[in-house]
Amino acid sequence: WYNHERIKLTLGGYSPIQYRLMNQ
């Protein structure tokens, strides 16, 4: 799911909360 979420983040279809979770 990590890779999948990354693609969605690139599209900007996810909240910054998920982005922070991935950064950690």
Tens of pLDDT, residue by residue over 3-13, are 766 666 666 65
Spatial separation of the C-alpha atoms in residues 11 and 24, rounded to whole Å:
20
Residue 1, pLDDT above cutoff 60: no
Nearest CA to 10 among 23, 1, 19? 19
Judged by DSSP in three states, 8 sits in helix
Spatial separation of the C-alpha atoms in residues 21 and 1, rounded to whole Å:
13
The pair of three-digit structure tokens given for residue 3, joined into one six-digit string: 């890779």
What is the average per-residue pLDDT within 8-21?
A: 64
Spatial separation of the C-alpha atoms in residues 2 and 8, rounded to whole Å:
10
